[in-house]
Amino acid sequence: MTTAFDPIDLAGTRLANRIAMAPMTRSRADGESRTPTALAVEYYTQRASAGLIVTEGVQPSAVGQGYPNTPGLHSREQIVAWREVTDAVHAAGGRIFAQLMHAGRIGHPDVLDGELHPVGPSAVAAAGQVYTLGGPKDYVVPVELTGDEVRATVSDIAAAARNAVEAGFDGVEIHGANGYLVQQFLSTSTNHRTDEWGGSVENRVRFAVEVVRAVAEEIGPERTGLRISPAGTYNDIAETEIEETYAALVAAIEPLGIAYLHVTETVPGTRDLTLALRKQFSGTFVLNPFTEGPTSRAELALIEEGVADIVAFGRLFIANPDLPARLASDGPYNEGDQQSFYAGDARGYIDYPALTPAA
C-alpha cells in the first residue's frame, strides 16, 4: 500500500514523500523591489522536509500584483534573490516550485504604486475590499485586456517561468484558482467577452490552456503544474457549467504531459468532481482537500485510497515547519497565530519550533 511517506517521481523530479506545502501568501517581501528577503530564505528552508514546496503566489509581471509586499519574478533583482531561497532549500534536501500568480482584477492602483491599474478579461469589479498599505479599499473596475494584451500576458507568464528556472526552481505552478486572472477567464461572472477568449466553454478555457502550453514550451512540461479550484467562490468568483468547464480544461491540457494537476477543494460537495478529474488526468494528482475543520493526519488516507498522489497542507505548514515528522507521529502540533499570517516580521514566520529529538 502506498503511503504519504513513500517517495514519488514527479515527472523526473524525485520527491522524498507525498506531502506538499501548499502555496500561501505571507506578504513579507521587500516592498520596493518585490524581492524575497533573508527571512524568506529561512522560512522555506525550515520547511524543506516537505516532499514538495509550492511558494507563495509570485507575480509574473508588475501589473499582476494583487497585494502589498508580495514577491515577483520579472526582474533581475528578483531572480537573484529567489536563487538564495532555492539554493538553501536544495541544500537542505528539498524540492521547490514557484507559484506564478497573476491577480488580474484582484488588486488596487495603490498596491501597484498608482502607476498601473488592475486588468481582467472584462471590466467587472469584484465586490469587497482589498488590503493596501493605506488600509482597506474597494476593488476597482479592471481595465479589460485587448486581444493583443491577452497574448502579451500569456508571454509574460511564460517569461516568468523561464526566470523561475534561472532562479533555481525545480518548476512552476500556474495559479488557476481562487478567483485570480486564470479563473477570471474561466468564469462567466467575470468573463463577458465575445471574442475567442470568452463566451463558450471552449473559449473560456482557452486562456488557461494557452498559459499552460506557453509555460510547458518555455521550460518543459515536466516542470509545469496547474492549480485549479472548481466551483470555488473566493474573491467574488462564481462559476456555471462547472463540470463541463473543468472537463474541457483537463482534456485540453492532458496531451501536454505536464508534471501535475493541483486541485484545491474550497467548498463542500465537490469531491465527485475531484474524482472525475483525477480519473481524467493521467499525470500526478495533487489534492488540497476540503475539510470541515483544520486539516490533519486523517487526510493522508486520501493517498492510501488512491484519491490523490500527493496531499497539500497549508496552515499546518505555517505553524509546523517540520510537518512531515509531526504527521508521522500524529503530533504534537503548534498552533498558528492568525494575527501574523499576513505581513509582519520574523514573529509568526520563522519562530515556530520544530520537534525536539526527545519528542
C-beta neighbour count of 145 within 10 angstroms: 22
Residues 39 and 36: their CA atoms lie apart, in Å, by 8
| Local structure of residue 354 (DSSP, 8 states) | P
- Tell me the three state secondary structure of residue 52: strand
Distance between CA atoms of 320 and 293, rounded to whole angstroms? 17
Rounded-to-integer distance, Cα 188 and Cα 67, Å: 24
From the list 63, 145, 131, 52, the residue with the least C-alpha distance to 90 is 52
Residue 150 Cα distances to 119, 210, 247, angstroms: 10, 10, 23
Contact (CB, 8 A) for 21 and 316: no
- Which of the following is catalytic: 180, 246, 260, 352? 180
Annotated catalytic, 139? no
Cβ atoms within 10 Å, residue 284: 21
Residue 92 gets which letter from DSSP?
T
Kindly list the catalytic residues.
180
